[in-house]
Amino acid sequence: MIFPRQCKEVGFADKKPFGDLVYFLSRYLIKKTDSGFEVLEIETKEGKGLLREIESTKKLAKEEETYLYPNPVLLFDRTNLIKLAKESFDKTGRRCTIFRGFDEHMTFVIDADLSLLLKIYVYDAMPPWPNLSEIIKNLEKTGIFGELEVEFEHIVRDIRDSEASVYPCRAGGFDITLDEDRLNGGEKVAGCLTARQFLAECYQGDFEIENICPADRAALENKSPYIARCCRAERCGPVTEKNQTGFIVHWGASPKIISDAVYSLCRIYREKQWK
């Protein structure tokens, strides 16, 4: 796959007010032709000015291989552009998709390869609101993860499937909860380490506890890399086990904390793969 890291490396060759001179940062040219576009890779000669002579030119995609995507897009959302380029290839058979941004900058993707995207598993639970999963979905729409070239698989458990008689709190809309009801002992409780600690401190009886912790589920399923939510502050941070890489964020983590966690997770995982 060929996908320029920065749109500033891509020049649009339409008119030639200064002949064959190009902007010094240009590494690729999208050249307009009589019947479409072609994409060129160039090397410029050494120089000091803003405009440089071209040392060499290589054609990366011919007119019949290029497709101009019809709508403006966020150019820095690389994951989305790779997916759109693959969809365009499936529809048109043209291996190169050219994109125009809302600011009129341009870029392209040649031979889009979805297998190069890093899949991150998102572990969460509901009800109430699956904070981690939903924030990641909303952040994705802004393009903030675009440069990471990642995609997310959301694994959100509906804790009602535990068919417990007691749940953690009223915020989930449950009738009987640990935070507002006195238990008799022997009930089935949907909970986690915090629930176990609470029951041990407040009751003498035995309880059946079904673990609903997203972080524990992530560790058990052994998928990597992952990001998971947990109510225990001491567990938050990177997880770098021998065969698994993850990141745990607190139950009420903010969008900023979650975004930083995703970036840290990608860095840790990729560094681990490079070793």
- Reported as a single tens digit per residue, the pLDDT across 104-141 is 899 999 999 999 999 999 999 999 999 999 999 999 99
Number of domains observed in the structure of the chain: 3
pLDDT mean across residues, the chain: 92
Q: 25, 105 in Cβ contact below 8 A? A: no
155 and 177 belong to one structural domain: no
- Would residue 2 count as lying in a domain? no
- 255-264 pLDDT, tens digit each: 999 999 999 9
Asked whether residue 198 falls in the same domain as residue 108, the answer is no
Q: Are residues 50 and 93 in the same domain?
A: yes
Strand ranges (E), the chain: 10-13, 22-23, 28-32, 37-44, 51-52, 54-61, 66-68, 96-100, 106-110, 118-126, 150-158, 188-191, 208-211, 226-230, 237-240, 245-250
pLDDT tens per residue, range 70-95: 999 999 899 999 999 999 999 999 99
Residue 142 lies in a domain: yes
Decide if 220 is inside a domain.
Answer: yes
% the chain with pLDDT above 70: 99
Residue 1 has pLDDT above 80, yes or no: yes
Q: Is the same domain home to 25 and 83?
A: yes
Helix (H) or strand (E) holding 274: helix 255-274
- Let me know whether 86 and 17 are in one domain: yes
**Is there a single domain that holds both residue 134 and residue 265?**
yes
Report if residue 1 sits inside a domain: no
Q: Are residues 120 and 59 in the same domain?
A: no
Q: Which CATH number covers residue 125?
A: 3.40.50
Q: Is residue 205 part of a domain?
A: yes
Range(s) of the domain holding residue 148: 116-159+213-274
